Structure 1
């Protein structure tokens, strides 16, 4: 692995992605198998002026053992200190920011009771909601990035010895995240400018709805929420600090109206949910809700996802991603939502982002739902973009505009 690139990657993620500010508390979640990268991020955090860098270690094998042998009621019962351990930093006068480093084995929980896992995760999300609202509302800077843990690399490159698979995935991540340019800050500045161009034009059109069509059978009409705004490239935290929520990111995204989605959509990439793969899936919407669905693999798991709560069968996000994105051009299926969602247009089952509604970060959930934003305990991105995806929009004054032509931006 190129150590220079590793530190460049960590520096970019921390100093530009999270954009750690002087005196902030910097919370980092990282797999226990990747200590060197956590150390590089801690170094970058302190260089940026962080008051403290706190690492929370995660372990796929430990998670599997707990889910397999632990009683459901016990697993679902978080102790108050677990929530407070985040809120105490968020409520600190100097504030906080957070980085989640993903390196999960895509099938870490394969073969376990999917319904039990779903119920446990739902219970934990509900308990942690006061903290999640800090990120969903951009009250703090937050960023999600990924590094190639051995089990993940082996899934992506099953024909290679493990050490070679890890090395190859590192090289690929450095490439699609623009680190291999040697100057990721400049490369990302140009990329962010292009994203802002598309975002601003979509907002200028004042769209009422969009329609997505592909030769695989997808024909989906998505009405947009009241006062919806397109976002992309960068976000701005409550304190005015600009940050990049996902590294990599290729999307420009908006909030659908929870009752104005109709048609059928076919998944174009497998989806990893609760440590298991859902493949060859499709869903049909009527007035915002899924009324029919199926999958070639793990159809029951898809049903579990869609029944997580009363609104899990509606969508909270529509994101546009060109087929020419570096992730898609790589030709590799990452089995990791952070990367795969940035290879294709996608929707998200569950909650929408309040920041996709004008003034939404200061609204209550009830006010946001009246605008049409969906509310749920989950937010699960699934890929629907194809090489020939075409997207047209209709403005509020009835004009039709072309947004995507054969998988690419048309403007």
Structure 2
């Protein structure tokens, strides 16, 4: 009984003391931000037909639909063309800044606003990949996805190095709380104030429902509390408590992301089993002969001409999708199936001409990638950056979520309004 209690206590301590999977959530952040940004850039010439005033799904029809399902979109606050251009630009800018990891907490919220606003404006324009982006944009808000591979993490690392050299004093309260030293943050509070003023105007105008008002005001207040606890409190207790809550929210959101990916593959696989074309091994043959899914007709004809290959791909797809959730308990088998699924999505992107669907699914799959592989990947990227930009700091930030080992060592990348 004592051993069981100790094991349970160790598990609870691990969940509350650190944000699990920092490299995996960073890859998910980068993957979905890049996918949505590339989609918006590619569709920029057609944006008015997809989500704007020239689309077949008119502004009046969208209003009627939103009135019935209470979906979130700020595009229906005004039918002017300039407002649409501003929201589209917000979607592109927030995607880019989230990709880079600049003010990650704030950008994750703006990224969610951009994704939901555009997709809910024209609900019939999306596909399976858009649905995945839709869900992940919400989940990312609750993760600490900027702890590594972000401008936020680099800013914290440089502040710690400057303090270690004696070039930078502790921020007020940060030294007492054991947090990372930093210069007074002016950008974060200014951004927080501007967004708070905008949210106040929206609240007074009555454009948001009660549920969304509670969410956005809660996130806005949490940012202020987080910053104040690190700057003005005289002890470590407030910061430790906020750290615990943030870690719990992060780990819960990470679990939901993993469960969502498993649910997608499990439902897709079991529905395929019920289809007669999947049962007789010919399901892959038919999409290869549709003009819409044949960007390279010669390649599609070459693949569909081999009946054995078509049968193996058809059955293999079903087996991998159904089996994947059950392989999470065996790391080696899971990694093999994960590589097969990522390869399959890469082939779908090329052969069937669905690059953004494939990128979204690969980004979702990345949450299961091994930490050791991601660290090696980060090392390769750092060395490649060093060759392209010699003289810059090529040392990637250390893994977050660890207690300070000495003077000036940060506990988390959580300075001010950052990660």
Q: Same fold (TM over 0.5)?
A: no
The TM tier, using the shorter chain, reads: under 0.3
Give the alignment's TM-score, normalised by structure 2.
0.22
- 1 or 2 for the larger relative contact order (CA 8 Å, sep ≥6)? 2
Q: Name the structure with the higher strand share.
A: 1
Give the alignment's TM-score, normalised by structure 1.
0.23
